[in-house]
Amino acid sequence: MGAYDQKLSRITSEITLGLLILMSSSALDAQSATGQITGTVKDVSGAVVSQAEVKVGSEQTGLSRKVNTSEAGLYSFPLLPVGVYSITVSQKGFSSAKRSEIKLNVDQVLRLDIDLAVGATTETITVQATSAAIDSETAAIGQVISQKQVVDLPLNGRNFLQLLFLGAGAVETSGEQGGMRQGAGNAISINGSRPTSNNYLA
């Protein structure tokens, strides 16, 4: 091999290594088990409340963060670990507002708008979350299978891919990736996409 060929081979190897590092970094980012809580703070008349103090606290780990709303009354807590949270909002001239038992799932962008009532800052109005939160901030379609479902539901041969059929839009089809099913059927199409579009992260 000539000097030119050796140099070309070395450059190619460096480029390949760089691409592998970038791909590994992207895969790690995609697997982060975090979500986001965002929203707008307004008064009872519908006017936005700027510079209100918004605190988020984990009801499981004690993690807490604090931000002030923007001029448009917006707040955001990105990269929150999956869990159950409470949000407390306070501002001078208003009663404090608290929302508790807010469940945040992986990769969810949860919108939680909060209204402040006029009153003493020592007063706190607490609302417990009872309905399922809807992710209205992204166009992504997803479903979280709970630990209880994984433990309690029967799986033939303990093949985790059977859990995909708990979500709407998952159907069994023939063709690509049939071998992934470990003899438990054919490939899986989700919402009409090709089975080769499926990506499984451990």
Structural domains counted in the chain: 3
pLDDT at 89 over 70: yes
Enter the tokens of residue 175.
């063709």
Same domain, 41 and 111: yes
Same domain, 89 and 49: yes
Provide the 3-class DSSP secondary structure of residue 30: helix
Tell me what the mean pLDDT of segment 88-96 comes to: 94
Same domain, 7 and 85: no
Residue 142 in domain: no
pLDDT at 10: 52
The identity of residue 173, as a single letter, is T
Same domain, 72 and 153: no
Q: What is the CATH number of the domain that holds 105?
A: 2.60.40.1120
- Window from 51-55, 70-74, 126-130, 195-199 with minimum mean pLDDT: 126-130
pLDDT at 8 over 50: no
Residues 168-195: pLDDT tens digits? 888 887 765 555 555 555 778 888 888 7
Helix H, strand E, coil C: the string for 39-59 is EEEEECCCCECCCCEEEEEEC
**Domain span including residue 12:** 1-30
Same domain, 47 and 110: yes
Same domain, 52 and 100: yes
Prediction pTM value: 0.64
Domain boundary among 95, 128, 161: 128
Domain boundary among 74, 98, 128: 128
Tell me what the mean pLDDT of segment 155-166 comes to: 78
Which tops the pLDDT comparison, 26 or 2? 2
Same domain, 39 and 77: yes
Same domain, 10 and 41: no
**CA–CA distance, 46 with 118 (Å, rounded to integer):** 12
pLDDT at 27: 43
pLDDT at 99: 94
Residues 93-127: pLDDT tens digits? 999 999 999 999 888 999 999 999 998 766 777 77
- Interacting residues of 135 by C-beta distance below 8 A, sequence separation 6+: 108, 109, 110, 111, 142
